Structure 1
Amino acid sequence: MSDADLINDLQSYGMRLADPGAGHEARRGGAGPSDHKAVTLGSKTVMVPVHTAPAFQSPFLVEAPDASGHARLTRDGKEVARLHFPTRPRFYDLKTADGIPYSHIATLHSRDVLATTVLQTCIRYESRKKTCQFCAIGQSLAAGRTIAHKTPEQLAEVAKAAVELDGVKHMVMTTGTPPGKDRGAAVMVDSARAIKAAVDLPIQGQCEPPADDIWHQRMFDAGIDALGMHLEAVTQEVRARIMPGKATVPVEKYMSSFEAAVKVFGRGQVSTYILAGLGDTREAILEMGQKLCDMGVYPFVVPFVPISGTPLESHPAPRPEFMASVLRPLGQMIVRAGMRSEDIKAGCGKCGACSALSKYESLKVPA
């Protein structure tokens, strides 16, 4: 089995932990890869579900790690790989002058990626009629593991420490959508300007498409190196059913915003997150993937993960066979478009920990 297929299987099935305390704490709730744990397989660090319903029944088991943090990964009792748990980041031990733990302001994703949700509130999350059914942005706030609004000064302080203490290489800034037509672009601008004044760190900003395309230039000028605007689902029927509030911003608006953003950030530096397994067919995802590649937008396709406490907590994760049927041709599509994940300056696509896509990019196509 190739590394790509193994990672793909792990991210669909999840894994059970013989020692739940191994490595630093798994992420529960919040935005981004929730209910996951970071593990390193060879040179690749990936996020694997551990606190989801599928993971509790997974054929994969990670045995207790040895003193060096290495552990055997077994499938149905047979060893398939050895993995390593990343150590707890040193910047987690620090607090701001007013006593807020740095880990409440930003977290380490993968091995060298700093991530934060600038606004931990969202106009879509406030109403069950509008909320994205997969979203857990409010869970970590309710549990007291984060704060509602990270100020530019706080983000700059934590980013500088993460680079100096833990060797962070790039940063992801996402946000809940605030009221207003900028749809989060304004907080991206303020945050990026402060961070870049404190430390030289590539940043990906993530927000919904702003109503006025002038915000793309403003974000770029403030220090945003790459931009993510996330479709999540590619067909209107699935979007309206799964994320009724966000679906009021039509796919056509995303496409026009992608086109405008590529002119500012460049080919391959604009991306979108697509959650496979919500109802879009393989054909629909690949058709959209080709359109995006033609535009110069990186289509970061990841397997849907049912997060506890959300309306979709019982929705099945996609089968690994389905994911491979999407990611294998998509990886080659991306390569043909000249947009490898490794060439992205910052962000989810560059990190690649939530999908096997980057591994499929490197597979050779049979003659």
Structure 2
Amino acid sequence: MTELQTRGLRMQGAAGDHVSRRGGAGPSDHQAITVDGTTVMVPIYTQSAWNSPFSIESADEGHRLLRDQIPITDITFSNTPRFYDLETSDGIPYSHIATLHSKDVLATTVLQTCIRYESRRKACKFCSIGQSLQAGRTVAHKSPEQLAEVARAAVELDGVKHMVMTTGTPATSDRGAAVLCDSAAAVRSAVDIPIQAQCEPPRDPIWYQKLKDSGVDTLGMHLEVVTPERRKNLMPGKSEVSIEEYMDAFREAVKVFGRGQVSTYILAGLGDSQESILAISEELIAIGVYPFVVPFVPISGTPLEDIPPPSSQFMESILAPLGKRLRAARLLSSDIKAGCGRCGACSTLSKYEH
């Protein structure tokens, strides 16, 4: 599965009426598939996927995963959820407000705009947050009322178990925490569902308690790249918030949300060495932060679209020792209440914990 996530999958029209995502925030250019009972997000729209050794053979009885045309195992797709058939009273499709990630995770980007993305000089070179908005597949700002309406439907119709709320960074000192508070409070008033909020570290740590009080269960603040020089090159705007500031923010957030309920995304394959990723992961684990290491996926239309993804050997050299360290520290994905780490579909890290 690690190789499948790094090499991608040639679909050859086999996806049909199933969940896939092109562009936008979060796991983009992916297809959700279930292999041996585990749902994973696999790149299908990337350049590397066109040349992948993995493909699909479909028949009336189902789908089989092939490697170099040799059958490996049966797979299933995550079907399009029923709530996608609905729309708001003002005619906006529910799928433009929130989408299904993996098999039971509802996800939304509350603000589909970002001060980093809007400046070519400041934009993260791997980010595609504006693509889905430009393509008309979403709206710029999802209101609390819209999010509550869609979340209720997703739980009732499709059995969604938890929700992820991320956001582009606004030009305010809270860096998105305020709009996440309003959104989480509205959703929790409508339906009892665990929520992860994701934003850059707000300047004032008082926002962590405000997020918790609004109904947020877990918090994600994403480093993505861990070497300062690489951060400046790949994330010129976001790197202005230093790693030291992130570490201080993690300590403050853990005080509020608890050990294991704060996490960070780390994108392996953007130039950080195995040693640097494992070293900072050790620091994060000591603080009580879950380091969710995922393989970098080059997204079409971004400056890094031609960068090859990391090899499965590189990913295994990180995930295998990291999984052991997480197990030894009893900082496990299964204990996270909501969010990307609990879902685990964008990385095979949780498998290495066991």
| Alignment partner, residue 72 of structure 2 | 80
C-alpha deviation, 1:80, in angstroms? 1.4
User: Quick check: 1:52 aligned with 2:46?
Assistant: yes
Which residues of structure 1 form unaligned runs of 5+?
Answer: 1-6, 363-367
1:267 lines up with 2:259 in the alignment = yes
**Aligned Cα root-mean-square deviation (Å):** 0.8
Residues 1:171 and 2:163 are matched in the alignment: yes
CA deviation vs aligned residue, 1:208-251 (integer Å, no higher than 9, x gap): 00001000000000000000000001110111111100000000
Unpaired runs of 5+ residues, structure 2, are none
Equivalent residue number for residue 183 of structure 2: 191
Alignment match, 1:205: 197
Give the one of 15, 24, 33 matched to 1:39: 33
2:232, 2:135 → 1: CA distance? 29
Between the aligned partners of 1:220 and 1:21, the Cα distance in structure 2 is 39
Question: Shift in Å at residue 203 of structure 1?
Answer: 0.1
- After TM superposition, give the deviation of residue 86 of structure 1 in Å: 1.4
AA in 1 matched with 2:43: P
Does the CA contact (< 8 Å) of 2:125 and 2:235 recur in 1? yes
- 1:99-114 → structure 2 map (5 Å cutoff): 99-114=91-106
Equivalent residue letter for 2:286: D
**Counterpart AA for 2:200:** E
In structure 2, which of residues 278, 281, 297 is the aligned counterpart of residue 305 of structure 1? 297
Residue in 1 that maps onto 2:89: 97
| More displaced 10-residue stretch of structure 1: 252-261 or 24-33 | 24-33
Post-superposition CA distance 1:295-346 (Å, at most 9, x none): 1000000000000000000011001100000001011111111111011000
Kindly indicate whether the alpha-carbon contact (under 8 Å) linking 1:216 and 1:264 is maintained by their aligned counterparts in 2. yes
Given candidates 225, 233, 237, the residue that maps to 1:241 is: 233
| TM-score (normalizing by structure 2) | 0.99
Alpha-carbon shift at residue 20 of structure 1 (Å): 4.0
Distance in 1 between residues matched to 2:142 and 2:285, nearest whole Å? 34
Q: TM-score, normalised by structure 1?
A: 0.95
Are 2:299 and 2:305, in contact at CA under 8 Å, matched by a contact in 1? yes
Task: Judge conservation of contact 1:37–1:47 (CA < 8 Å) in 2.
Answer: yes
Q: Percent identity?
A: 65
Alpha-carbon distance, 1:49 to partner: 0.1
Which stretch of structure 1 is more off in the superposition, 267-276 or 331-340? 331-340
DSSP-derived class of the 1:315 partner: coil
Q: Distance in 2 between matches of 1:18 and 1:179?
A: 43
Using the TM superposition, give the Cα deviation of residue 23 of structure 1 relative to its aligned residue in structure 2, in angstroms.
Answer: 4.0
Match status 1:251 vs 2:231: no
- Between the aligned partners of 1:331 and 1:149, the Cα distance in structure 2 is 37
Give the 5 Å matches for 1:333-348. 333-348=325-340
Count of aligned positions = 354
- Check the 8 A contact 1:184/1:207 in 2, yes or no: yes
What residue number does 2:216 align with?
224
* Pairing 1:59-78 to 2, within 5 Å after superposition: 59-66=53-60, 70-78=62-70
Match of 2:22 in 1: 28
CA contact (8 A) 1:228 1:271 kept: yes
**Alpha-carbon shift at residue 22 of structure 1 (Å):** 2.7
Residue aligning to 2:282? 290
- Judge conservation of contact 1:172–1:203 (CA < 8 Å) in 2: yes
- 1:8 paired residue number: 2
